[in-house]
Structure 1
Amino acid sequence: MSEDVSGDTSGGAPREMPDWEKRFRAPRVSLPDWAQDAPHRSLFVSNATGTYELYSWDRSTGEQHQVTNRPNGTTDGVLSPDGAGIWWFDDKDGDEFGVWRRRPFSGGEDELAAPGLDPSYPAGLALGRDGRTAVVGRSTDEEGTTIHLARTGEPPVEIYRHRESAGVGDLSHDGSLIALEHTEHGDAMHSALRVVRPDGTAVAELDDTEGGTKELGLEVLGFAPVDGDTRLLIGHQRRGRWEPLVWDVATGEQSDLALDLPGDVSAEWYPDGSALLVAHGFEARSELYRYDLTDRALERIPTPPGTVSGATARPDGTVEYLWSSAAEPPVVRSTAGGVVLDPPGMKSPGSVPVEDVWVDGPGGRIHALVQRPAGAEGPLPTVFDIHGGPTWHDSDSFAAGPAAWVDHGYAVVRVNYRGSTGYGRAWTDALKHRVGLIELEDIEAVRQWAITSGLADPARLILTGGSWGGYLTLLGLGTQPEAWTLGIAAVPVADYVTAYHDEMEALKAMDRTLLGGTPEEVPERFAASSPLTYVDEVRAPVHISAGVNDPRCPIRQIENYVDRLAARGAVHEVYRYDAGHGSLVVDERIRQVGLELDFARRHLPR
């Protein structure tokens, strides 16, 4: 039985807005970026109009102005160091393929920011302090990655090209050095670094992969914010986790910070270059520190328990950070005290806190986060909400989707399976070749715990997720058909071979790394990891939502999977919407969650 869903949940008498919907509608803001040479000017993202768009903020006057206004929203924007202009990425209907545009901070007409560069997928952007220089990274199926130096009034000049994926890391404070991340060695999960001059000639190289024999990655964190300073802050994995070090690209000297902190550690510069703002993530939570580069002292910056999803040090030494927990909605705070940017309008209701669960699995201890309705006792209908990525992780942070399930009486379990970040390099890298199947082994171990612990009703188990989580949902329904009562997959990989051929070039490179080659080179691995291979084993009703312009999980491969479900009369519903890999429109997101809740209401046993 098949049903195409229109998504029209409107009509009828006026109703009181439920808490789950308020969480999506309540205005929220991102951490404001500020201009290096004009720190009173900032740029942030907000959903205040019902669509996520860019906003400028002049702190000296308090004035805020909406910068972009597009039907499907805009979140990719960069404020120039002088504060005079805003660059924003203009794609078509969420397909992520487009051009950079620019407009004055104080308002005015948008213009093509880098004339002469054809549309592409973005591969990084760095803007110079002179107000006229930009380093623009581009990715296309035909060219691979190209990087151009673009100066106002001059044709762009190509300074880098390679078939494998690469990206712009940073431009030095004086504009004399450009840091690039690249995967010329063919491992898209572990980048090497190259520093070049504006004419493209190489200055320094750093490669921890040793030609692919070691799976160690590097990342650019930023040049020192001082003229003539050749120090580059980078991240490395030499001790099995992400840590920062300072690399002087002129002398080659590397200053390893060797911070005594468990978990992953990242950092960025304080504005005068004398210290680092350290972000430490461990077991689904995070905290901040100040690290003095002269006396090598590490000082904790007080933040509440939960997750800091972004932080920045201001010229006056204060730190602004975006914080939330599973129970408390996000807020931008300052170490100076108080809320930095509080959007007007309705406030989001909170939710219930998470409980930490550790489960022994085939690859080691698995960390899961559990939420259950306040006062509820099991066994409960339970939603396994699987995160995307796969190189990502669920954390003790506010999430409107899981909170909606909790409001409706469900327990929610989120699993940081092998492939997730935050538990060491070996855990993140463990999923190669048996892609999808390894993650599902971990999810199955947590599922067994949920049942034996009395939390979950085995007859009412929902497997759901978006992107890679949607992929694991469809793969789990086919490879573990007796385990799940219902499946809800958003923007999933459904037919891995077709997805590979249709997706954006950077993701093709990632798939070659994960599976060890192309579908033609390792067909057995693609088949073993493709939900389409197991579609005839699916027994549970399936709900699928998909963006028709999605470049990451393209629509054709989803249609192939849906056609197979329909051919055997399997119970399924499909919702297609006019956007890309998810939606930035609040009404659209609410419509999708409403459809998912209704699907569960109709198909889950009472």
Structure 2
Amino acid sequence: MTESNGSAAPQRYEEMPDWEKRFRAPRVSLPDWAEDAPDRSLFVSNATGTYELYAWDRSTGEQRQVTNRANGTTDGVLSPDGAWIWWFDDKDGDEFGVWRRQPFAGGEDELATPGLDPSYPAGLALGRDGRTAVVGRSTDEDGTTIHVARFAEAPVELYRHRESAGVGDLSHDGTLIAIEHTEHGDAMHSALRVLRPDGTTVAELDDTEGGTRELGLEVLGFAPVDGDTRLLIGHQRRGRWEPMVWDVATDERTDLALDLPGDVGAEWYPDGSGLLVSHSFEARGELFRYDLASRELVRVPTPPGTVSSATARPDGSVEYLWSSAAEPPTVRSTTGEPVLDPPGMKSPGSVPVEDVWVEGPGGRIHALVQKPAGATGPLPTVFDIHGGPTWHDSDSFAAGPAAWIDHGYAVVRVNYRGSTGYGRDWTDALKHRVGLIELEDIAAVREWAVTSGLADPDRLILTGGSWGGYLTLLGLGTQPEAWAMGIAAVPVADYVAAYDDEMEALKAMDRTLLGGTPEEVPDRFKASSPLTYVDDVKAPVYISAGVNDPRCPIRQIDNYVTRLESRGAPHEVYRYDAGHGSLVVDERIKQVALELAFAKKHLH
């Protein structure tokens, strides 16, 4: 058994292999800016070797590191007046903690919401008055609670329910609060409620009414204008995510009905006259401006690839974070001027992605394929399975797959049933036969990879993190002849024990996916648990896990490992002092190096 023993020794950049440079190269997130002080911005960067929050004053160019914690910090919010930076303080990645705040210019941190005990976060909205916050909290004891906290006053409870919920947004003038809730018991499809700060209800919107529970809603934001009661929301009424404007005072609903395939999201332009529309289709992303008066949709020029986040600035320009499988991420602007280019070494690129469509038991499956330049098959092939499960792989830059390609492997990523971006029915298809449905799609793509000549059937690796790690362990047990080895990061390994130990919001999701608790539907939990099939596993297994992980807790992983040990099955386990993954660059590099070494040792 391997245990974490600290960071890897530093090396000169020029001596590093490209795969390591991709992790070490400084990166930045898309800067968030203060609504009433747009020169003040907040972003995340790994410049010091750990992902932390940074303040950026655009008027002077000054940048300042805000947080400095051993295991990193990425959850931060800039107050609308730009005076404060709020950040979430948990313990070594356990996601259970409190909000603290620090002056934008620097100074001591202070407890942002005195009177509220530590919890899992369930959303945060800050008022423009500089003293009001709407704070969502989740605990095993209380379920979800939402409080209105005002400076120097005791927090007031606004909402409480056993099922999962969260803060959506606070209106521009602070008189309306939008929340997403799942009081109907379906954690995959939220309903909306708009409240006044005193807790009285203004409006309700519930597309799950009538018992169908198949349509979800999401809060995208109130109009950025005082007295404006329009709320931008996302809905699934035509089988995919689309934006709609809902006036919560009059109940008037403006359906935009944009003629775009795939999922569509949006946010307001700063003056409220239009929407910045984000469009995701077949693993690519693009942007549009939608004028609410003329109903005209105009494309915002971006290169082919993936726009992972975007924001409209007060001058009408758009800033966005872009990458492709071949090109590392950069923050760009429609002005053509550079936005935020981190100093230091630049990340090497990788190879482009190829699209593959495979007929599967539930419909056409989209897979993304990369292989070393000039290589011909059959190749040792890594099936790198995404997490979520409600997520999808895209034509975007990823250092992990690029490392495998550098070492001579082909990489296949599968957007199985359960993935987003291919319509509501595709996302919702995995219910009740959880894990098994996704693996049917992965098996269909595996068959294509072998018969097409891409993949060597004797050198196939199944790997993934989080839900992808879960599918890796489940696949090794249910498809034991298909895989030469498995590499699972922060996985679900024992579904019943995971349910007992995980955070309350994930328990609600599991009840939705499987149709009940382990006591109510024991056969479904058993059928979907990797522990059920552990004695059928033939391939070597590598598992990495964070000892503080609240999503895939360590006890259930230990249960699985104990079963492997009891029969002498080949395996290695690496435990590290963090939560659901690591924000420390050295730690991440160490994990990838261990995975590559395990593959080299066992794949022959």
Q: TM-score, normalised by structure 1?
A: 0.99
Partner of 2:174: 175
Give the whole-Å Cα distance in 1 for the aligned partners of 2:471 and 2:358.
19
Identity of aligned residues (%): 86
Match of 2:533 in 1: 534
For 2:211 and 2:90, the matched residues in 1 are separated by 34
Change (3 A) 1:19 1:39: same
**1:48 matched to which residue of 2?**
47
Do the aligned residues in 2 keep the contact of 1:35 with 1:79 (CA within 8 Å)?
yes
Deviation string 1:41-95 (CA, Å, 9 cap, x unpaired) is 0000000000000000000000000000000000000000000000000000000
Give deviations 1:433-477, integer Å, cap 9, x for gaps: 000000000000000000000000000000000000000000000
- CA distance 1:13–1:194, change in 2 (3 Å): closer
Could you say which residue in structure 1 is the equivalent of 2:600?
601
Change (3 A) 1:63 1:238: same
> Once the 2 structures are TM-superposed, how far is the Cα of residue 213 of structure 1 from its aligned partner?
1.8
1:436 aligned partner: 435
The C-alpha deviation readout for 1:300-342, integer Å capped at 9, x for no partner, is 0000000000000000000000000000000000000032100
Aligned to 1:184: 183
Contact conserved, 1:7 with 1:575, CA < 8 A, in 2?
no
Aligned AA for 1:4? T
**Within 2, Cα distance between the matches of 1:478 and 1:142?**
35
Q: Does 1:518 align with 2:517?
A: yes
Q: Deviations over 1:502-527 (max 9, x none)?
A: 00000000000000000000000000
Aligned counterpart, 1:218: 217
SS in 2 for 1:339: coil
Change (3 A) 1:116 1:541: same
- Counterpart-to-counterpart distance in 1, 2:4 and 2:181: 43
Query: Contact conserved, 2:225 with 2:272, CA < 8 A, in 1?
Result: yes
How far apart, in 1, do the equivalents of 2:60 and 2:370 lie?
43
Question: Which 4+ runs in 1 deviate beyond 3 A?
Answer: 3-15
For residues 370 and 177 of structure 1, do their structure 2 counterparts lie closer, same or farther at Cα, with a shift above 3 Å needed?
same
SS in 2 for 1:341: coil
SS in 2 for 1:442: helix
Pairing of 1:133-282 with structure 2 (within 5 A) = 133-282=132-281
**In structure 2, distance between residues paired with 1:113 and 1:261:** 42
1:409 matched to which residue of 2?
408
CA distance in 1, matches of 2:459, 2:96: 41
Distance in 2 of aligned mates of 1:129 and 1:13: 46
Q: How many Å separate the matches in 1 of 2:211 and 2:352?
A: 42
Secondary structure at 1:258's aligned position in 2? coil
- Retained in 1: the 8 A contact 2:8–2:587? no
Aligned 8 A contact 1:245 1:257 in 2: yes
Q: Which residue of 1 aligns with 2:106?
A: 107
Deviation at 1:16, TM superposition (A): 1.6
Which residue pairs with 1:491 in the alignment?
A: 490
Provide the secondary structure at the position in 2 that maps to 1:552: coil
The AA in structure 2 aligned to 1:390 is: P
For 1:75, the equivalent position in structure 2 comes to 74
Output aligned runs, 1:23-42, within 5 Å. 23-42=22-41
| Corresponding residue of 1:347 | 346
Query: 1:365 is matched by which residue type in structure 2?
Result: R
Q: How does 1:422-501 map to 2 (within 5 A)?
A: 422-501=421-500
CA distance, structure 2, for counterparts of residue 580 and residue 413 of structure 1: 27
Does the 8 Å contact 1:466/1:491 carry over to 2? yes
Counterpart of 1:597 in 2: which secondary structure? helix
Q: 1:4 aligns to what?
A: 2
Q: Return the alpha-carbon distance in structure 2 between the equivalents of residues 262 and 523 of structure 1.
A: 39
- Answer yes or no: is the 8 Å Cα contact 2:28–2:43 preserved in 1: yes
One-letter code aligned to 1:251: T
Q: Secondary structure at the match of 1:75?
A: coil
Q: Separation in 2 of the partners of 1:155 and 1:99? A: 16
- What are structure 1's unaligned runs of at least 5 residues? none
Q: Distance in 1 between matches of 2:508 and 2:423?
A: 23
Note the aligned Cα RMSD (angstroms).
1.1
Distance 1:6 1:80 in 2: 38
Question: What does the per-residue CA deviation read over 1:150-177, in whole Å, with 9 as the maximum and x for residues that have no partner?
Answer: 0000000000000000000000000000
Map Cα deviations across residues 93-126 of structure 1 (whole Å, 9 max, x no partner): 0000000000100100000000000000000000
Q: CA deviation at 1:10?
A: 5.3
Q: What is the aligned length?
A: 603
Distance 1:5 1:181, change over 3 A: same
- 3-state SS of paired residue (2:598): helix
Distance 1:183 1:355, change over 3 A: same
Q: SS in structure 2 opposite 1:594?
A: helix
Closer/same/farther in 2, CA of residues 296 and 434 from structure 1, 3 Å limit: same
Asked whether the 8 Å contact 1:7–1:595 carries over to 2, the reply is: no
Matches within 5 A, 1:291-306: 291-306=290-305
Whether the 8 Å contact between 1:185 and 1:211 is mirrored in structure 2 is no
CA deviations over 1:394-417 (Å, ceiling 9, x no partner): 000000000000000000000000
- Letter in structure 1 aligned against 2:578: A
Structure 2 SS opposite 1:514: helix
**Separation (CA, whole Å) in 2 of partners of 1:13 and 1:207:** 55
Q: 5+ unaligned residues in a row in structure 2: which ranges?
A: none
Whether the 8 Å contact between 1:5 and 1:573 is mirrored in structure 2 is: no
* Gap change, CA 1:458 and 1:5, over 3 Å in 2: farther
Checking the alignment, whether the CA contact within 8 Å between 1:331 and 1:339 is kept in structure 2 is: no
On the 8 A contact 1:192/1:208 being kept in 2, the answer is: yes
Counterparts of 2:478 and 2:441 in 1: how far apart (Å)?
Answer: 14
Distance in 2, Cα, partners of 1:8 & 1:117: 34
CA distance in 1, matches of 2:412, 2:563: 30
Is residue 2:562 matched to residue 1:567? no
**CA–CA distance in 1 between the matches of 2:296 and 2:325?**
32
Partner Cα separation in structure 1 for residue 9 and residue 69 of structure 2: 26
Quote the offset at 1:7 in angstroms. Answer: 6.6
1:584-604 Cα deviation digits (max 9, x unpaired): 000000000000000000000
CA contact (8 A) 2:276 2:287 kept: yes
Contact 1:8–1:591 (CA under 8 A) maintained in structure 2: no
Structure 2 residue aligned with 1:396: 395
Tell me the secondary structure at the aligned position of residue 339 of structure 2. Answer: strand
CA offset at residue 212 of structure 1?
3.4
Q: Contact 1:279–1:287 (CA<8 Å) still a contact in 2?
A: yes
Letter paired with 2:137: R
* Distance in 1 separating the partners of 2:11 and 2:174: 61
The answer to whether the Cα contact below 8 Å between 1:7 and 1:591 also exists between their aligned partners in 2 is no
